[in-house]
A and B are shown apart, each in its own frame.
Chain A
Amino acid sequence: MARGDNLLKVEHLTMRFGGLVAVDNLSWQAREGDITALIGPNGAGKTTVFNCITGFYKPTEGRIALRHGDAAVWDELESLTERGKRHITTAGGSLFQLERMPDFLVTQQARVARTFQNIRLFAGMTLLENLLVAQHNSLMLASGYTLLGVLGFPSYRAAERAAVDVAREWLDRVGLLDRADDPAGDLPYGAQRRLEIARAMCTDPVLLCLDEPAAGLNPRESAELNELLLSIRDKYGLSILLIEHDMSVVMEISDHVIVLDYGVKISDGTPEEIRNDPKVIAAYLGVADEEVEKVEAEVGL
């Protein structure tokens, strides 16, 4: 798994809701081991892109492909598309066509995990239970699809202990270990955000999609979040997709930034390049294309 090869390809993605075009013919790629940020003004279509990637929305048009293993497997993409299958596996790796998969399979098989803009925890369950639910599929297998578990086979008990250890490790990493037995709904906002990330990590993903993880955090929490994300990237070699409004987070930790406006990609590059792109500035200041030059002059570019 060489860092730097493409992990995810989004091609000609279009999503329409009735007359509204939320995402319009959007193409971009995310490299393995990168933190890729998706930014743009409110209503630009960022969350919609996430929903398409994670299978919650079926895109009107377009292709979303994800690779596991060897980069050479990209050569199979056209044949995968033609055969109309969901995924293809070769000796070196596999390729998934995400827009063809139902949401739960995107996580289960393609191993893409996500968090939500408006936090979705299991509020009435404890932190530990939240993290165990995230390991559902592996535990389900260990419990012999419930049958062996009901009969009390020891193999399940061992698997459960291992799952608890994973959960404990993640709780420790996000600093919530001492609250393991409290209901998730009791946590303060910032802690809920961290718990949601820990829960997503417990599904053992290759790609982590975070929808505005820093929203509502104070500066200290925000800095802690940066560290957490960097450590996830570096320790686990995980790739991260990030939607974020907080520019300090975006500029500090992302390797690659894509800017959307009205569902269209207006810029794509390193944080440095984005910072200096007049189109991005214009989009954020909310002016029409013709006025870009005027604005540039005003902001002194």
Chain B
Amino acid sequence: MEVFIQQLINGITLGSIYGLIAIGYTMVFGIIGMVNFAHGDVFMVSAFVALIAFLFVTAWLGIASITVALLIVLIVAMLFTSLVNWVIERLAYRPLRGSFRLAPLISAIGMSIFLSNFVQVTQGPRNKAIPPIVRGEIILMDHNNYAVALSYKQLIIWGVTAVLLAAFWYLVAKTRLGRAQRACEQDQKMAALVGVNVDRTISMTFVIAAALAAVAGTMYLMYYGVVSFSDGFVPGVKAFTAAVLGGIGSLPGAVIGGLLIGLIETFWSAYFTIDYKDVAAFSVLAITLIFLPQGLFGRPDVEKV
């Protein structure tokens, strides 16, 4: 029971991170029908930006307050990553709009390879570790010498994720931008005809996707305290799995899918074998796509003849 609750806590934490990345996949897919293969690497880049920002803020500016430092790091990571993704969209995807259908996917794969190698070349191939930023935990239960702990790190992740998801929800549900996004999702030509700036809406989608990935990246860095250039691929695939599981195109689906994937992964590692934990994630992906391609919350895809 204690193990179960502890794993539940860990799983939700991990799931929050996946959920934040998954939103990026689902939004981009919803609006331009493309699997943004490079999104996992954008997440990895954001973790590096957060790392550099953290070192800069603490060592160079000498800010001692952890709260202030974290806040600055988060904002800096969100800003820079958004800019990076905006540039990527401009250079690698926009010229391909309306081109043949595989082109954006291949371009995204190329971008993914480019980003991870770019980070490897500029920052070196070794793992980058920082000392723990946030220490301490709340003991929830102590039973039979097994303490169920909720660390402050985890609390921060839950809190930040919740706040940002609420802001994000407001953005897509209540603002002009969100409306434009939904219009483009339905029919880009028609949206353009009624005066929606399609190019800008798509750009903004990439910016928002990157900002959320940057939140995930910062949380990832804070949680694990280590990041490497190759950390984009596997979390990326898992987040994509989450998006598919939730029903690609559905925003709440992405968050719930993320939580589910986080839980599946932690429970699998805790109760079965940690060796095959990635196999479990990939299997969930394959099984979902085969048996439930519309996901939990997606609309079924009818073939019209």
A and B, direct touch (CB closer than 8 Å)? yes
Q: Does B194 contact A (CB under 8 A)?
A: no
B305: chain A residues within 8 A (beta carbon): 47, 51, 56-57, 116
B97 to chain A, nearest CB (A): 21
Residue of A nearest to B300 (CB): A18
Q: Mark B273-305, 1 if CB is under 8 A from A, else 0.
A: 000000000000000000000000000001001
Instruction: Name the interface residues of A195-230: CB closer than 8 Å to any CB of B.
Output: none
- Write 6 A-B pairs (CB below 8 A) sorted by A numbering: A17-B302, A47-B305, A51-B305, A56-B305, A57-B305, A116-B305
**Nearest 6 interchain pairs by C-beta:** A56-B305, A51-B305, A116-B305, A57-B305, A47-B305, A17-B302
B302: chain A residues within 8 A (beta carbon): 17
A57: chain B residues within 8 A (beta carbon): 305
A130 to chain B, nearest CB (A): 19
Q: How far is the CA of A51 from the CA of B303 in the complex (A)?
A: 11
A: residues with CB less than 8 A from B are 17, 47, 51, 56-57, 116
Chain B interface main SS type: loop
A17: chain B residues within 8 A (beta carbon): 302
B300 to chain A, nearest CB (A): 10
B: residues with CB less than 8 A from A are 302, 305
Q: How far is the CA of A51 from the CA of B302 in the complex (A)?
A: 14
Q: How far is the CA of A57 from the CA of B305 in the complex (A)?
A: 9
Residue of B nearest to A56 (CB): B305
B302 to chain A, nearest CB (A): 8
Q: How far is the CA of A56 from the CA of B303 in the complex (A)?
A: 9
A55 to chain B, nearest CB (A): 10
Q: How far is the CA of A103 from the CA of B8 in the complex (A)?
A: 48
Q: How far is the CA of A17 from the CA of B302 in the complex (A)?
A: 10
A287 to chain B, nearest CB (A): 30
Q: How far is the CA of A223 from the CA of B305 in the complex (A)?
A: 27
B301 to chain A, nearest CB (A): 13
Q: How far is the CA of A45 from the CA of B305 in the complex (A)?
A: 13
Q: How far is the CA of A51 from the CA of B305 in the complex (A)?
A: 7
A51: chain B residues within 8 A (beta carbon): 305
B4 to chain A, nearest CB (A): 40
A138 to chain B, nearest CB (A): 25
A56: chain B residues within 8 A (beta carbon): 305
Q: How far is the CA of A251 from the CA of B302 in the complex (A)?
A: 35
A36 to chain B, nearest CB (A): 20
A116 to chain B, nearest CB (A): 7
Q: How far is the CA of A153 from the CA of B302 in the complex (A)?
A: 43
B298 to chain A, nearest CB (A): 15
B272 to chain A, nearest CB (A): 39
Q: How far is the CA of A211 from the CA of B302 in the complex (A)?
A: 20
Residue of A nearest to B302 (CB): A17
Residue of B nearest to A116 (CB): B305
A47: chain B residues within 8 A (beta carbon): 305
A113 to chain B, nearest CB (A): 15
Q: How far is the CA of A47 from the CA of B304 in the complex (A)?
A: 11
B246 to chain A, nearest CB (A): 22
Residue of A nearest to B303 (CB): A56
Q: How far is the CA of A150 from the CA of B304 in the complex (A)?
A: 36
Residue of B nearest to A50 (CB): B305
A116: chain B residues within 8 A (beta carbon): 305
